[in-house]
Amino acid sequence: MNIWRELISNKLALIGGTWIMLWVSIAIAGPILRPDPSENANNQHLDLSLLPPGTEVNVDGESFTFLLGSDRYGRDFLSRLMAGSVISLSVAGIAVAISLLIGLLLGAWAGYKGGVVDTVVSWFLQVVWSVPTLLMVLAITLAFGKGFWQVFVAIGLTMWVEVARIVRGQFISLRELEYVKAAKALGLSDFKIMFKHMLPNAMGPIIVVAAANFAAAILIEAGLSFLGVGARIPVPSWGNIVKEHYHLLTTDLAWLAVLPGALIASLVLAFTWLGDGFRQAFDVAK
């Protein structure tokens, strides 16, 4: 399809996409790729903490190189960063999946049906919209206990509103098109009309929102981990790696906080570029 060709010819989108693929493969490969293959890269040697990058040490009779140095608990920093990507990406993936599922169904239903259904759904959207994400996460954590499943669900539950709004808007304008009216007059079921005739023609904006939501979810998760609500120690996430080291920001060891922060920023940027690329590709394809 020419959407893909258009996307590949967009340099920023290509860079963003490659960067995302790289981190996805690092997250999936997990222990195989990490210098420290232990679960959560949690091999602690308190006597070896805060060593500079490239230091060679002797651990249990074996030689080991801290390529990016060691963190405050004497763990291999590179391995921690690599393991941290799992949380960031999976939170983003699951949150986006949840938001798409709810957002698509509710938005499509409201946009297609209109009338009372639309009024009720729109009202509900506004209510959810007005609840701050953090408050929602805290409420869900209070109700279901701490842990990252709660974070997944909480982030997903706040982000679907945006998807629903876009889908609703698209469906409202598609509903007026003659091929939708013709499908109704042919007696096709509502389900078929919505998902076979309307949804494929609304895909462009939905993909763009999904990409933006990926970026947002990564940021929210980082924020939550930094506050200590997200992933539980010792599970690494880029947010809580920053939290563990931000007091070193003014010292020579600043990279311990800067690097995970930069990774968060780079992945957010990558998703933004990719989303932008999709938007342009869809514009051109039209």
Partner 1 sequence: MNPILQVKNLTVAFDKVVVKDVCFSVYPGQTTAIVGESGSGKTVTSMAVMGLLPPSGRIISGEITGVNRLDYIKNGSPVGTEISMVFQDPMSSLNPSMRVGSQVGESLRVHLGLNAREATQKVIELFTEVELPSPRETLNKYPHELSGGQKQRVMIAMALACEPSVLVADEPTTALDVTVQATILNLLQKLQKERNLGVLFISHDLEVVRSIAQHVIVMRFGEIVEQGLCLDVLDSPSHPYTIELINSRPKKICEGGVRSHQSLIEVKNLGLEFTTSRNFWGNPTKRFKAVDDVSFIINTGERVGIVGESGCGKSTLGLLMLGLEKPSKGEVVWKNKVLNVEDEKSMKEFRREAQPVFQDPFSALNPRMKIGKAICEAIRQTVEGKKLSSSQQLQEAKSLLLEVGLQEEDLEKFPSSFSGGMRQRIVLARALAVKPIFLILDESVAALDLRIQSQILELLSEIQKNRSLAYLFISHDLDVIRAVCDRVLVMKDGRIIEEGSTDEVFNSPVDSYTKHLLESRPGKLNFAS
Return residues touching partner 1 (CB under 8 A).
177-179, 181-188, 197, 200-201
Please report how close the Cβ of residue 166 comes to partner 1 at its closest, in angstroms: 18
Name the residue nearer to partner 1 (CB basis): 62 or 286: 286
3-state secondary structure of 66: strand
Provide CB contacts within 8 A for 201, sequence distance 6+.
170, 174
Please report how close the Cβ of residue 3 comes to partner 1 at its closest, in angstroms: 11
Cβ–Cβ under 8 Å, residues 68 and 259: yes
C-alpha angle 277/282/286, rounded to 5°?
150
Name the residue nearer to partner 1 (CB basis): 83 or 198: 198
- Rounded distance between C-alpha atoms, residue 262 and residue 266, angstroms: 6
Please report how close the Cβ of residue 190 comes to partner 1 at its closest, in angstroms: 11
Please report how close the Cβ of residue 192 comes to partner 1 at its closest, in angstroms: 8
Retrieve residue 54's tokens. Answer: 């490239």
Please report how close the Cβ of residue 93 comes to partner 1 at its closest, in angstroms: 26
Name the residue nearer to partner 1 (CB basis): 67 or 182: 182
Residue with the two structure tokens 């799992």: 86
Name the residue nearer to partner 1 (CB basis): 164 or 183: 183
- Rounded distance between C-alpha atoms, residue 71 and residue 52, angstroms: 9
Helices (H), the chain: 2-8, 11-29, 77-113, 115-129, 133-144, 148-175, 178-185, 190-192, 199-227, 238-245, 255-285
Name the residue nearer to partner 1 (CB basis): 31 or 169: 169
Name the residue nearer to partner 1 (CB basis): 130 or 286: 286
Please report how close the Cβ of residue 181 comes to partner 1 at its closest, in angstroms: 6
